[in-house]
Structure 1
Amino acid sequence: MKSYSRRRQDAPHPHQVLADPTGNFLLSPDLGADLIRIYSINKSTGKLTTCTPFSTPGGTGPRHGGFWEKNPNVLFVGNELSNTVSAYTVTYPSGGCLTLNRFQTLTTIANNKTLPSGSKVAEVHTKDNFLYVANRRDLSFNPNDSIATFSLDSAGTMAFQQITSSGGTYPRTFAIAKAGDLVVIGDQTTANVVVVKRNNETGLLGPQVASMRIGSVGQAENDNGLSAVLWDD
């Protein structure tokens, strides 16, 4: 039987599509091909032109990215298979395609330690000078998984701050409220939505304030359970 990593990289697997802050380019982390695919957008026709993709090291498995609102020339990407998060500077050559330069990669637990076997990084999101990453199946709060918090300096360099419980297992998705004071977490396998407090000054996540089961409990490694959560704000 093939390993999880081998199964996930049998073929290209673009896992997300996101526009850059200028609206002139689309990026797609391709978990299966270890690429961040880049396309330029013709705003008149909507047609895409393929740019040179950014190649990540073999077995990285880039899954989910987000631009930093404090410095739009910094992109963060969560890597599912290597259980890391990478920071990239974004440049715009005159008349050319967007290009990336990776300047930092860290694992998503304290002291840059390797995550337990079976762990899988999921979504990444930024708010103010902080970055948050979901850890699935790390069991840091056994039986629950975790959300990692990093502080960011003006260049986007990451420094690990904390991990806190996701309030369930397999946190596939999470979202930060516009006001910044709350974070909602969607735990896929336990099929529960969890809301935790967030300190706008320190960026640290605090106690759980609500939890609700949504539908039937799923099974780890399957696509059942809870898939996505969003704020309506």
Structure 2
Amino acid sequence: MRVLVAVKRVIDPNVKVGVKSDGSGVDIGNVKMSMNPFDEIAVEEAVRLKEAGLATEVVVVSCGVPQVQETLRTALAIGADRAIHIASEADLQPLAVAKLLKALMDKEQPSLIVLGKQAIDDDSNQTGQMLAALANLPQATFASKLLIVDGKVIVSREIDGGSETLSFSLPGVVTTDLRLNEPRYVTLPNIMKAKKKPLETIKPDDLGVDVTPRVKTLKVAEPARRSAGIKVPDVATLVEKLRNEARVL
């Protein structure tokens, strides 16, 4: 069974970001970048499936600028077998990425496709669902537990009302939640081994996919700063301020 895992290069979650002076987007100049945390969990789960003898090959793919290859090398160090870089300088939106992954699926013919449930930069939470729709495959999102039994995928997931268990026959698409696993620490020997693993570079044109953006960002702005709180002497004053100043009563 071949497992295809999609990963994205994002701003490191520990970095405080700022908006460009012209309001056109987030400033990523000289900012530390890393693999999207949800995607790291997806890679870890795919590698665990291989270690359990349920998968024969783990292929990681990422789309974007040349620096994306650093993220792919990290995935290879975790334990993936080979990587594919879909090189593009365009602003790749979720639908474009889903179309690229669908075209790559047609070529690679994976049994299971695993993605992080969302990227922490745009929080779109769309690519996995769009991919499943384009490929006409069953899907299970926000997986907190994943099992493969007799050719079927069993996924436990948290929902508003509690928990839910889904099952579908392969092939299919799964998106991962933070509760699924704890990614392993990448050791130096594995980082060195990853440099020797195959990394293929292709372009969207090679897959016959148009990645022209369909959504235009008009403006990006930081959230308004919250005003400082105040202390009140008694409940009556609190109620008065909530009613007349905050106007929430």
- Please indicate, yes or no, whether the TM-score normalized by the shorter chain is above 0.5: no
When the two structures are superposed, what TM-score results if normalisation uses the length of structure 2? 0.30
When the two structures are superposed, what TM-score results if normalisation uses the length of structure 1? 0.31
Normalized per residue, which structure has more helix? Answer: 2
Normalized per residue, which structure has more strand? Answer: 1
Higher relative contact order (CA 8 A, sep 6+): 2
